[in-house]
Amino acid sequence: MPRFPILDICARLDGHVHQQKLLIEYCRDFTEWHALLSKAETEGMAPLLRKHLREAEAPYPVSVRRSLNVLYEHHKHKAQIRLALLKEVIEILRSSGLRPILIKGAALAYTLYYDPALRPMRDIDLLLDKSEVDHAQALLRESGFTQSPLPIPKDHHHLPSLYKIIDGVEICVELHRDLYPDCQPHCPKVYFEKLYSSGININLDDILATTFNHEETIHYIYQHGLRAPLTYEPYKLINVADIISFIEKYGRELNWEEIKMNYPILNKAIPLLHYVSPWNPDRLPERLEVTKSRIHLEPKAYRGWPNKRLKEFKDEKRNMFYMLRVTFMPSKWWLGVYYGANTFMGRIWCMLSKHSFHVLWWAKLYYSLSKMRES
């Protein structure tokens, strides 16, 4: 599915003058509204698209306005049910002495986004200590949650999904024993006690929940959203919106020296989000150096192997040379976002070393898995 600049620049919570001017310009003479709506919903962006089109007073068809209103009401209804269920889950776990940490969209919807309907999500994610997570799963099953029958490896970073159907809406809960799958060379280690003790409390109506502090939050939403640990998954625009919005809201409170020291790739990658949705200069932290040009670094996601399997290349009638090129020579923007390679020589070195070794690591993993299946 193609990229739409209209959708890209809406990947943020709050608009600004330059962004709104671009949005109005992009909407003029635009005709692919049906495809745009489909893409927006797939990317988790329909409520934000509606918000920005309305605020910018951009020209768009009445039929699109109606469709976006329907989608917004749908997400608003789900958000209300999700909040009630989230409060129930936290109370069940805490009453048994467990310590859940709210992560991903469920945390951002009630901290960063002033309207939870603006932040669609697939499920509610909670991190628990490895010694507590099985007990937590059992407690929720006993309280009426149904466990998904889909098999998950015993050492997977989260347990099988749990779900409840309320008012015809299925809400899923995933309990995590870790933040990342143990299947990638550069996934950072997770120390639950450190994350919990340094966490902050947020108010969910009348109960308190714990989530990460700001430095840990920006690192995790970057790692989860843009450095997806499984097969170089393409980023979703809602994840870009999370990062841009978080930086513009909390960036001047962040400890950038700590971020630069502990998460150097993150420090190099964040400025490149300007090429998706231009930063608001009035909200940028002084430490963040942002390139102003949008010409040279089109925000192209990774499209090589193993993100696309060999069969997909064959189905598209692509030859081996094309597959090798997109696999070992990704876009400049993606190399910067994923590896922190922002210079010409840095990108060359990255393709020859880090990225090549990473692809070979995946090849070794898939070979091992195929041998296991054969045996």
Phi, psi of 305 (to 5 degrees): -75, 140
Q: What pLDDT is recorded for position 291?
A: 54
Close Cβ partners of 303 (under 8 Å, ≥ 6 residues apart) = 234, 326, 330
DSSP string, 106-125: HHHTTTT-SSGGGS--SEEE
- In sequence order, which residues have a C-beta less than 8 Å from that of residue 362 and are 6 or more positions away? 231, 305, 306
User: What confidence tens digit (pLDDT) does each residue in 186-215 have?
Assistant: 667 789 999 999 999 999 988 999 999 999
pLDDT mean across residues, the chain = 90
pLDDT tens column, 22-65: 999 999 999 999 999 999 999 999 999 999 999 999 999 999 99
Query: How far, in whole angstroms, is CA 361 from its chain's centroid?
Result: 24
* Residue spans per domain, the chain: 76-212
* CA 47/CA 53 separation, integer angstroms: 10
Closest C-alpha to 208, from 83, 87, 84: 87
Average of pLDDT values for 252-261? 88
Is the pLDDT assigned to residue 370 strictly greater than 90?
no
The confidence score (pLDDT) of residue 186 equals 60
What is the structure's pLDDT at 8? 96
If pLDDT is split at 50, 70 and 90, which confidence band does 185 have? low
171 strand-pairing partners: 164
pLDDT at position 230 is 63
pLDDT given for residue 374 in this prediction: 63
Maximal C-alpha separation, the chain? 62
Closest by CA position to 238, among listed 1, 5, 7, 4: 7
Q: Which CATH number fits domain 76-212: 3.30.460.10, 3.40.640.10, 2.40.110.20, 3.40.50.1000?
A: 3.30.460.10
Looking at residue 295, what is its pLDDT?
46
For 77-134, write each residue's pLDDT tens digit. Answer: 999 999 999 999 999 999 999 999 999 999 999 999 999 999 999 899 999 999 999 9
- The Cα 274–Cα 333 span in angstroms is 11
Contact 108, 221 (CB under 8 A): yes
Q: How confident is the model at residue 293 (pLDDT cuts 50, 70, 90)?
A: very low
CA distance 126 to 135: 14
User: What token pair was written down for 252?
Assistant: 């001047």
More confident residue, 187 or 76: 76
